[in-house]
Chains A and B, each alone.
Chain A
Amino acid sequence: MIRVLLALLLLALPVRAEEIVSGVSQSGVSITTNFDGTAILVYGAAIRDRPAPDWPLLQVIITIEGPSAPLVVRKKERVAGIWLNRGAVQIASAPSFYAVATTGDIGDILSPEADAKYHVTIPQTIKAAEGAAGGSAADQGQYVAALQRIRAQSGSYRLAQDSVLLLRQSLFRTDITLPANLVEGVYKVRIFLTRGGNVVDMQESQINVAKAGLERALYNLAMQSPLVYGVLSLLMAMVAGWGASELFKRVRF
């Protein structure tokens, strides 16, 4: 009887050989007037209740994902000599920011099945709209590829392989830079431990990114009471334009 109970207990407990203990240097980012990007330090360790297997080696993948939004990707075509936006593909959702940091080549340390399950790599995070109008699947692929290319160029999508430092198959750390052109919202930090391409453990935490101080006040005013904001910006323009020119008249040089 006791044996049966013990067996049930063991089954009920999550059987994980390795578990993540981790921390993030900042749980929140304030976008203030002089905000110019910030570096996030993600660190942790894989703890285990038994000796680690020698093979395959432990690998770590860390991702930070910004809030997602629906997008339209447009393509320019020459019409009567002028470059106009012609084709368009709706993207149901794509993250505004996505950084992947790994201990090795992502293709080697993460199997395609695990990638599809956990949506780890950048292409997995972009969802094209269902039944989107216009063009074939291959055509749509071009638009999605263009989206990735543009966002990669602007530094919004990053794949930094070999940028996670892993010590003694246990301690790990990496720095991920958040750029200056951040979008507000909840940023999801995920840590994956993999062995032989399979995910051994995964942990998720969050970073809140929000405008603060004057930025917050101006943004809220512009969105919530746009008329007051509009009148205020007119007053500001009048006072600044008229006041400064009066000042210059007094101070002849």
Chain B
Amino acid sequence: MQLYLPIAEVSVNVFVLLGLGGLVGFLSGMFGVGGGFLITPLLMLIGVPPAVAVATGANQVVASSISGVLAQFKRRAVDIKMGVVLTVGGLLGSTIGGFVFDLMNRLGQIDVFVQLSYVLFLGLIGGMMLVESVRSLLRTGKAVVRRGHVHTLVHRMPFKMKFRASGLYISVIPPLMVGAAVGFLSAIMGVGGGFIMVPAMIYLLGMQTKVVVGTSLFQITFVTAYTTLVHAVTHHTVDMMLALLLILGGVIGAQFGARVGVRLKAEQLRILLSLLVLAVAVKIAFDLLLTPSELYSITRVVG
């Protein structure tokens, strides 16, 4: 069954979209990630214009993170104060990202720019995760000694604030910057950015792990909602019909993914996730490095 997407202006098979949403939902349910980093490249692969893929990807992440953050609220696993600071940074970063997106679009380099961002960030995070999880798998059984309080640069900056739920008394500058970096990526890559924010919260900010996921979902919900609005208002690139099908497929897939996820060990999951992230990075890197079959491309002049 073919469906004509009103904004993307392409006709695609409904079951391909539902399947795509389902597959990404399955993986995101299994690994507990938003899945934006998979949705956006996959949409481009089936012929959705990059600008529509990024904007609609952000819309899809809103749906997958809202149910997550509600569940985390019930468990009181959200540091609202930290979440607000991260969100403020995120909105700033997303706005800057929107400008950069426009600039690259005008220069005709948006595709390469989005691809390079994917290779860079997914490669970096995937590699780090793989190394880290293989190491922890090798030393299972041995007790890991972690110092409770390490004074780093984070503790020497001004504008200190108390984040009770996170167990922190630190300057607001580092969380603002983490939030801004994630917001920036959200605007240019159409991702939630959880895969970058969660490690940053643990290793850079030193937050207590039990509030990390809930708080990052809190930030992601607001920032991707804002990103969706910015793209809808300035570029008219959010395709509601496309988003709805992806969300429906995604919600169903996530339920099954979550069930498979609980049967696997945390280390195994992390290794699988890091391999998946690396695979996406390598695939996109190949697209950039190999000689393309068609050197020319056509862009419609807007305005």
Q: Which A residue's beta carbon lies closest to that of B294?
A: A150
Indicate which residue in B10, B112, B233, B294 contacts A82 across the interface (CB closer than 8 Å). B112
Stretch at the interface among B1-9, B162-170, B268-276: B1-9
* Cα separation A90 to B301 with both chains bound (whole Å): 9
A241 touches B238 (CB 8 A): no
Interface presence of A74 (CB below 8 A): yes
B4 touches A34 (CB 8 A): yes
Taking CB atoms, residues of chain A closer than 8 Å to B298 are 71-74, 147, 150-151
- Distance in angstroms from B89 CB to nearest chain A CB is 21
Size bin of chain A's contact surface: 35 or more
Interface presence of B296 (CB below 8 A): yes
Taking CB atoms, residues of chain A closer than 8 Å to B295 are 75-77, 146
Interface presence of A84 (CB below 8 A): yes
Those of A205-252 within 8 Å (CB) of chain B: 211, 214-215, 218-219, 222-223, 226-227, 229-234, 236-238, 240-242, 244-246, 248
Interface presence of B228 (CB below 8 A): yes
B6 touches A240 (CB 8 A): no
How many contacts A-B (CB < 8 Å)? 176
- A74-B108, A82-B288 given; A236·B244 CB < 8 A: yes
Those of A68-91 within 8 Å (CB) of chain B: 69-78, 81-85, 88, 90
B6 touches A222 (CB 8 A): yes
Indicate which residue in A83, A180, A222, A241 contacts B7 across the interface (CB closer than 8 Å). A222
Interface presence of A164 (CB below 8 A): no
A31 touches B4 (CB 8 A): yes
Taking CB atoms, residues of chain A closer than 8 Å to B229 are 227, 230-231, 234
B232 touches A229 (CB 8 A): yes
* Cα separation A212 to B299 with both chains bound (whole Å): 26
Taking CB atoms, residues of chain B closer than 8 Å to A147 are 296, 298
A242 touches B4 (CB 8 A): no
* Cα separation A158 to B254 with both chains bound (whole Å): 44
* Cα separation A71 to B300 with both chains bound (whole Å): 5
Indicate which residue in A36, A146, A227 contacts B233 across the interface (CB closer than 8 Å). A227
Of B6, B109, B231, the most chain A CB neighbours within 10 A belong to: B6
- A33-B3, A74-B299, A183-B9 given; A84·B109 CB < 8 A: yes
A233 touches B297 (CB 8 A): no
Q: Which B residue's beta carbon lies closest to that of A96?
A: B300
- Distance in angstroms from A184 CB to nearest chain B CB is 9
B297 touches A85 (CB 8 A): yes
B11 touches A240 (CB 8 A): no
* Cα separation A88 to B108 with both chains bound (whole Å): 9
- A71-B301, A76-B292, A150-B298 given; A234·B59 CB < 8 A: yes
B11 touches A35 (CB 8 A): yes
Interface presence of B252 (CB below 8 A): yes
A244 touches B252 (CB 8 A): yes
Interface presence of B241 (CB below 8 A): yes
Taking CB atoms, residues of chain B closer than 8 Å to A26 are none
Taking CB atoms, residues of chain A closer than 8 Å to B240 are 218, 222, 229, 232-233, 236
Interface presence of B219 (CB below 8 A): no
- Distance in angstroms from A142 CB to nearest chain B CB is 8
- Distance in angstroms from A91 CB to nearest chain B CB is 8
Of A32, A88, A143, A248, the most chain B CB neighbours within 10 A belong to: A248
* Cα separation A78 to B298 with both chains bound (whole Å): 18
- A222-B7, A237-B60, A240-B251 given; A229·B2 CB < 8 A: no
Interface presence of B77 (CB below 8 A): no
Q: What 0/1 pattern do residues 53 to 72 of B give for CB contact below 8 A with A? A: 00000011011111100100
- A34-B4, A240-B247, A242-B70 given; A233·B238 CB < 8 A: yes
* Cα separation A214 to B6 with both chains bound (whole Å): 9
Starting from the known contacts A76-B292, A88-B108, 12 additional A-B residue pairs (CB-CB under 8 Å) come to A34-B4, A36-B11, A37-B11, A85-B108, A85-B112, A90-B301, A150-B297, A181-B9, A223-B236, A237-B59, A238-B66, A241-B251
By Cβ-Cβ distance, the 3 closest A-B pairs, closest first, are: A241-B63, A230-B232, A180-B11
User: Which of B's residues lie within 8 Å of A, judged by CB?
Assistant: 1-4, 6-7, 9-11, 59-60, 62-67, 70, 108-109, 111-112, 116, 225, 228-229, 231-234, 236, 238, 240-241, 243-244, 247-248, 251-252, 254-255, 288-289, 291-292, 294-301
27 contacts between A and B (CB under 8 A): A34-B2, A70-B301, A71-B301, A74-B297, A74-B299, A78-B291, A83-B292, A85-B109, A85-B111, A143-B296, A146-B294, A181-B11, A218-B6, A219-B7, A222-B7, A222-B240, A223-B236, A232-B240, A233-B243, A234-B59, A234-B225, A241-B63, A241-B67, A242-B66, A245-B67, A245-B254, A248-B251
User: Which of A's residues lie within 8 Å of B, judged by CB?
Assistant: 31-37, 69-78, 81-85, 88, 90, 143, 146-147, 149-151, 180-181, 183, 211, 214-215, 218-219, 222-223, 226-227, 229-234, 236-238, 240-242, 244-246, 248
